Structure 1
């Protein structure tokens, strides 16, 4: 029994709200009334009756015109409360007259919300990947490749309340379990505080990489993030795109053909019946079926027959649907005027081959229980071939844009209780017309059509089991089914707020960026003036929006690589096709470089000639780390195959290999004498091993995600960049010497000055910190990159720092300047993954992910350095200059 409002509430309503406190009190009273009488159907646990789940959000009630301030009669919600239709008449408790008066008084006072607007904390893409990475780290390493994630963050950022988001969670839980061959209901698990990121395990639903990649073939919103966290998530899950928008998935995987493909259903009904262990023809012959025939099903335009079988998982219902015959009779068989075979009251037996005079159906629907108790759906034509949509001349769904019945979503929307109770009319017809059929036919009809009471009892039992299964998903059986409701919300037009949140920008920034692009003005310019664009046009324009706004690389489903042996993910989710440079290591004169390539090779690159001199082949997956020995004779590399290798530059031969990492080798560095290599991995280890034989000298574990390394030029220590700290390890023993952090964003690049006295490290948030070796805290914090830092270099004295970023810029920092206009080089067209000061002191060289190398003359920024006591040979000036 629900408690009613305190008696004093009615007295409080008599007070006139003359002050802000009074308005706040009145708003609280109105909210209490709504929560007491309306919330259970319009928000509680995600309930969405009437497609409304925000009844306690007073501001949203006004914004969505359910309430019209100062006009109680014009407020639809109030009118329904006042006339007693809301809550429905059979709901208790009922609003009292005093409570209705409170709502009226609140509306006539201007419908104040009683709350000051507070900033809705936005969830960034970095936040999403950080949460997913943190979740993966709680799981056993072998289990991580089975994990996939659905996101609601853009809806949270668009201002949806938790009640509204709960409807999405309910719909997602119901749908993934409705696409499952698992024996139990298992719901997605929230992994963040706002419950906007939901994890599933492919094994729960008997899915694998083939199913996930089939879903990705349809996904229009795939953007490849260049951050360390995103890379680590891809490595951990063995998937290029392990995250999907939940609303898109609900609206797309609930509709054929994707619905069929995720459920792995065959192309015809005979094969489906084999799958669920049903022999329909034999069951009919042996009278092991229960039928109901009737007119006016509400979906079918003419009469319909329902037929129930037992299956391996429980029940299996199928329908026989009929197209409508012409109104006038014509000669049909040998000039006779026989009844139309589409009339089940004249021909209740069939289908063809199972009766002397079978009915002539045009198609139908199959509904069967999954092992977990939820239902699956299947549309067929007259010859039992699978259909994505039912023919409009036979069936229709007024909730779909084209009114066509779609396999999956239309069936869920209609069959909200499972099997809709329908009373049989055929047995009554036989009783009233005993001479219409032969005696043998009448006996068969009575055996197959036991009458309405028997059929309704079976339907009631099946509906009860279905409701119990639905409840386990967190949803409930109601008139407004969660999956179809969310599908309609997703398919609605896109406005400026929803578009900005889907792109990941603020409304003002999104509007401004549209204005800067002639292409986007044509595509989505209507959004700037408060208009909308259709969902179809938004999807069509999404790729152009990402490219024009430089939001990342577009995911291409056709570029997925080979899968793991157990088909749970890709062998190398980081592999790239064509030219790609994940890291650069330049010679001091800038004329040569070693490149870590996404195509499994290590390139020895002629910078001036813009060509490969050699390719070192041996890695079996993409390469992500490279280094050059001080004498320029050897190169080191690390890759997704978990190995680190050393190469002879002169011969191109592999001379050493270290195989004891268990994940991506993300960083390598030579010690000054070139005899040892330090390698770091996403498995949290750093190893010190000998070039001569690949034997390990020492190993440090449990460092977290190792992202970059830099070795002290004097050979005393190695700086290790991790996801949340910068750790100094003794180069001789591996002992920890010092630790900087904990940082909120993963470090992504680190460098030590040539004199070994200064350290610079950049992170995924675009921030660079600079320490003097003796410092306990960073001496300088440099901000300006609009994306993560991908490379860093620092000169002696710590004054000049060079950084390359995912924002496609190269930046020169003067740490001595209190305030400065930052010199920035903007000629790169992709993320800058390598940057270095040249030995001549007046230039830099930088390379980007697209394998483009550009020089930058910086002497006008840093001035001319005094000549050293011993004149060093100058680097010949042969690299063409490029102005910033």
Structure 2
């Protein structure tokens, strides 16, 4: 006994009791792996599943590096915390106590590796990927190559991402591209390499044009081209594209939200246009009770009562939600269950979400405001998404997250309410409620039918319907912090090489140096900001956005489609008198026009806000907060661009949601000093003289004829036309004045000089420039000798009207006469409208009448900003009525034709005119073979597939009274 005791005490004798013997690490790892595979893998990795954004449960290295497991400490391990608490697995399927104990032992023992030893992956360099894609595209028929594009996951493979997670990305990419498709079939991208990290797509499979791809590629902040590589040059030429490949994780994150979500899916601007596209007559369906409705309190996204409504569409189902800013009056669905409309018993909603089947069975989404116009984000006071950092419901990504299983089943409460209170509703109202608000079983059958259709389509993409939307999960993974392995892979260097590069680059190491510390990471925003500098300094390639103006999806001369500005609805405000004074909350220091002429935007520097004055309501309706008072700002058709001079950052704010959409550093190293943009354009925006895309904030290739990339130079003034194609400039405190214009066309800015015309303010479309000495062309030439007689002129913000001003002494006098192009006589004079602005025609100051008088014909008002800088004086003036009253016999073509048409497409141009004589005829005098013009003035031409070059067109427009004008234009045929 004593011998046995001594042997035991000395550790020379082991007990055969298994409970007292330490388990072999390999055995413990094997048991832990079995538990994870049995209970977790089906949701977190198997076949690419990414529930909770967690698709690597069977990869011990990833569990540790991503801090799901902290070796040696189960209590601080996220994975163990979730299983011990019973949260995972969900739905009451908690792990058995023995399985929980195994995981605890495994982590406490240091989480020994359960993955079999495998050979280290061979790093795949960019040159190999390009060679692979080039070899693949050469196998394609020549006619197919220009539609062949590639989506890469190679950097994720290089970063050591497990195969389960890589499959999750393949599934996510497949679901995304098919969720942006108008084609009838689901088409899964084709892997072209053994590791399946390079996926080929054909744009035609998703009904994407090459311009849509250019918009995608031009928005890619990580898209590098390699102009010095002969293989790469050949590949780009064969694809007919500057950047024929983009990264899959970036694509999933960027294309699942606006603006790319809207652009790729080609969503129209309004609810009615979408319904026309889907062949849904919602108004008629409601009138004839061919809808299924459910109204209720308590929604996952809305604070107030809500109603959802189902229609049949040409592609399956079409659902609408009606969302409300409050629950009282006509926004109380229980009291006003019928509508929408103007009737006294109809509800009045503030916006909604539209969900519809694409032809392939997947779902697409559109958010709209109360006027039925498309918006990027829903107002947080109406709807919210707790999963997003700003809690805003963002079109695409938020909708996908909520509707991961298709349609959400909701029980109607309106039908029972109306039937329980029959005396509160008329017989007709009760009949309508019973017809549209269906019984629970019938309504839920429709929801199930639609969700099943969606599920089958998802399964065709290779994925499955779970509790987590894979597109959203992968987007969140992309937005997460980067470790050394991932950052190196995104830069296409091995981790050891990245550390060496950082040691040679102190400036870059200041930003990215934390990657070299154990477990160090860098924020995605920081890495994205630094990426261009790293690519340039380490000669990794050239950013495609720098190499082409395709960032904005169109050539700069046509980026701002004139039809876009026409979609802005401007209506006359309610004015009880001909002259109304509207006071501002404080004194303003600067003012710009935005929203296609609908808004004046004032800088209230003391209040650190921008105040948005809406002509539709004749008052300030919104405020944009500023983080500093030293700002420069401008506005376009749908956004405000703010340059923060102290922080040296650029911000983009939406003119739809009035929320900040982006905050970035400028795409150059100097401080931001000035921003300019056409008030009816979508870009470009000029920052410090450089042309920049307002969506991506990338520099665009816009130069002067000599190749200078700052084509506006240091020109003063720089007032843009509404469409952003012509910039007026003049020297205000120097003689001679040297008036000039800068005309943007085809990526080239050309300067034109006009002597001492003083100010040069281009009109809405840039055709005419308005000066202190009459009206001139955009090249500062006289179009008509009589144009000089108009004197001191300013353009209207829309259309063909303009003002002629007389000078005044400060505080009194001064008149405004309204003219219209094509009519020699005045349209009318604004009565009792002394503007009180002092000027003598010399335009010495930087704050003349061009910054104080704004004519908005659609609103029937002329706004004057007095020198006190604290009020807006509105003068009522209806130009169309005045033109009729003038007695002038006039005939004017007011429309502008499309400038381009695709070969093989149909060119359609409805000619619009203003005429005293309502009987107008149209005659085609000259044009391409096959072009016709109808009696209603619609010019049409089926463009031959082999047509090239430009086509000149001459139309004669006549009235019965003998008036006649020639309408000439040129159309360019593009491939």
Confirm or deny a common fold (TM above 0.5).
yes
Residue 424 (structure 2) aligned to one of 392, 415, 436: 436
Which deviations, in whole Å up to 9, do the C-alpha atoms of 1:347-395 show, x marking residues without a partner? 1111114x44211111001000000000010000000011011111111
Q: Label 1:126 to 1:54 Cα distance change in 2 as closer, same or farther (>3 A).
A: same
Q: Partner of 2:58 in structure 1?
A: 56
**1:705-784 pair list within 5 angstroms:** none
Contact 2:74 2:108 in 1 (8 A): yes
Q: Partner of 1:514 in structure 2?
A: 502
Q: Partner of 1:464 in structure 2?
A: 452
Q: Partner of 1:237 in structure 2?
A: 239
Cα distance in 1 for partners of 2:221, 2:158 equals 20
Which deviations, in whole Å up to 9, do the C-alpha atoms of 1:764-788 show, x marking residues without a partner? xxxxxxxxxxxxxxxxxxxxxxxxx
Which deviations, in whole Å up to 9, do the C-alpha atoms of 1:182-232 show, x marking residues without a partner? 001101111111111111111100111111011123111121113233223
Cα distance in 1 for partners of 2:48, 2:490 equals 22
Q: Label 1:63 to 1:221 Cα distance change in 2 as closer, same or farther (>3 A).
A: closer
Q: Label 1:121 to 1:349 Cα distance change in 2 as closer, same or farther (>3 A).
A: same
Cα distance in 2 for partners of 1:35, 1:283 equals 51
Residue 338 (structure 2) aligned to one of 336, 349, 357: 349
Q: Partner of 2:592 in structure 1?
A: none
Q: Partner of 1:303 in structure 2?
A: 305
Once the two structures are TM-superposed, the CA of residue 102 in structure 1 deviates from its matched residue by: 3.8
Cα distance in 2 for partners of 1:576, 1:384 equals 36
Greater shift, 164-173 or 551-560, is seen at 551-560
Once the two structures are TM-superposed, the CA of residue 532 in structure 1 deviates from its matched residue by: 3.7
Which deviations, in whole Å up to 9, do the C-alpha atoms of 1:506-542 show, x marking residues without a partner? 2232233233234423443443446443322322222
Contact 1:390 1:405 in 2 (8 A): yes
Which deviations, in whole Å up to 9, do the C-alpha atoms of 1:590-629 show, x marking residues without a partner? xxxxxxxxxxxxxxxxxxxxxxxxxxxxxxxxxxxxxxxx
Q: Label 1:424 to 1:213 Cα distance change in 2 as closer, same or farther (>3 A).
A: same
Once the two structures are TM-superposed, the CA of residue 54 in structure 1 deviates from its matched residue by: 1.1
Which deviations, in whole Å up to 9, do the C-alpha atoms of 1:559-606 show, x marking residues without a partner? 459999xxxxxxxxxx999999xxxxxxxxxxxxxxxxxxxxxxxxxx
Contact 2:123 2:494 in 1 (8 A): no
1:551 aligns with 2:540: yes
Cα distance in 1 for partners of 2:421, 2:34 equals 60
Residue 280 (structure 1) aligned to one of 265, 277, 282: 282
Which deviations, in whole Å up to 9, do the C-alpha atoms of 1:130-182 show, x marking residues without a partner? 22123223333332221110111111111110111111111111110000010
1:40 aligns with 2:42: yes
Which deviations, in whole Å up to 9, do the C-alpha atoms of 1:787-814 show, x marking residues without a partner? xxxxxxxxxxxxxxxxxxxxxxxxxxxx
SS at match of 1:341: helix
1:413 aligns with 2:408: no
Contact 1:428 1:451 in 2 (8 A): no
SS at match of 1:291: strand
**1:794-833 pair list within 5 angstroms:** none
Contact 1:294 1:305 in 2 (8 A): yes
SS at match of 2:330: coil
Q: Partner of 2:103 in structure 1?
A: 103
Cα distance in 1 for partners of 2:17, 2:247 equals 45
Residue 385 (structure 1) aligned to one of 373, 378, 381: 373
Once the two structures are TM-superposed, the CA of residue 117 in structure 1 deviates from its matched residue by: 7.7
Q: Label 1:395 to 1:39 Cα distance change in 2 as closer, same or farther (>3 A).
A: same
1:162 aligns with 2:163: yes
Cα distance in 2 for partners of 1:82, 1:547 equals 49
Cα distance in 2 for partners of 1:73, 1:525 equals 31
Cα distance in 2 for partners of 1:103, 1:257 equals 45
**1:272-671 pair list within 5 angstroms:** 272-324=274-326, 340-353=329-342, 355-529=343-517, 531-556=520-545, 558-559=548-549
**Between Structure 1 and Structure 2, how many residues are aligned?**
541
Q: Partner of 2:4 in structure 1?
A: none
TM-score, scaled relative to structure 2:
0.53
Once the two structures are TM-superposed, the CA of residue 105 in structure 1 deviates from its matched residue by: 3.7
Cα distance in 2 for partners of 1:140, 1:17 equals 65
SS at match of 1:308: strand
Instruction: Please tell me the root mean square deviation across aligned C-alpha atoms, in Å.
Output: 2.9
Which deviations, in whole Å up to 9, do the C-alpha atoms of 1:846-877 show, x marking residues without a partner? xxxxxxxxxxxxxxxxxxxxxxxxxxxxxxxx
Q: Label 1:531 to 1:31 Cα distance change in 2 as closer, same or farther (>3 A).
A: closer
Once the two structures are TM-superposed, the CA of residue 121 in structure 1 deviates from its matched residue by: 2.1
Once the two structures are TM-superposed, the CA of residue 276 in structure 1 deviates from its matched residue by: 0.6
Cα distance in 1 for partners of 2:525, 2:75 equals 37
Cα distance in 2 for partners of 1:452, 1:242 equals 50
Contact 2:225 2:542 in 1 (8 A): yes
Larger-gyration structure (1/2): 1
Q: Label 1:157 to 1:13 Cα distance change in 2 as closer, same or farther (>3 A).
A: farther
1:120 aligns with 2:121: yes
Once the two structures are TM-superposed, the CA of residue 49 in structure 1 deviates from its matched residue by: 1.8
**1:206-221 pair list within 5 angstroms:** 206-221=207-222
Q: Label 1:386 to 1:97 Cα distance change in 2 as closer, same or farther (>3 A).
A: closer
Once the two structures are TM-superposed, the CA of residue 310 in structure 1 deviates from its matched residue by: 0.5
Contact 2:217 2:544 in 1 (8 A): no
Once the two structures are TM-superposed, the CA of residue 14 in structure 1 deviates from its matched residue by: 7.2
SS at match of 1:88: coil
Once the two structures are TM-superposed, the CA of residue 80 in structure 1 deviates from its matched residue by: 4.4
1:144 aligns with 2:145: yes
SS at match of 1:126: helix
Once the two structures are TM-superposed, the CA of residue 79 in structure 1 deviates from its matched residue by: 4.8
Q: Label 1:290 to 1:475 Cα distance change in 2 as closer, same or farther (>3 A).
A: same
Q: Label 1:579 to 1:13 Cα distance change in 2 as closer, same or farther (>3 A).
A: farther
Cα distance in 2 for partners of 1:162, 1:139 equals 29
SS at match of 2:312: strand
1:182 aligns with 2:183: yes
Residue 263 (structure 2) aligned to one of 256, 261, 264: 261
SS at match of 1:229: helix
Cα distance in 2 for partners of 1:147, 1:295 equals 49
SS at match of 2:201: strand
Contact 1:17 1:26 in 2 (8 A): no
Q: Label 1:162 to 1:387 Cα distance change in 2 as closer, same or farther (>3 A).
A: same
Once the two structures are TM-superposed, the CA of residue 500 in structure 1 deviates from its matched residue by: 1.3
SS at match of 2:482: coil
Once the two structures are TM-superposed, the CA of residue 75 in structure 1 deviates from its matched residue by: 3.8
SS at match of 2:140: coil
SS at match of 1:317: strand
Once the two structures are TM-superposed, the CA of residue 470 in structure 1 deviates from its matched residue by: 0.6
Cα distance in 2 for partners of 1:563, 1:69 equals 53
Any stretches of 5+ residues in structure 2 without a counterpart?
A: 1-15, 556-700, 708-975
Q: Label 1:57 to 1:14 Cα distance change in 2 as closer, same or farther (>3 A).
A: farther
SS at match of 2:535: helix
SS at match of 1:217: helix
Q: Label 1:95 to 1:457 Cα distance change in 2 as closer, same or farther (>3 A).
A: same
Contact 1:13 1:26 in 2 (8 A): no
Cα distance in 1 for partners of 2:189, 2:20 equals 47
TM-score, scaled relative to structure 1:
0.58
Cα distance in 2 for partners of 1:119, 1:576 equals 46
SS at match of 2:489: helix
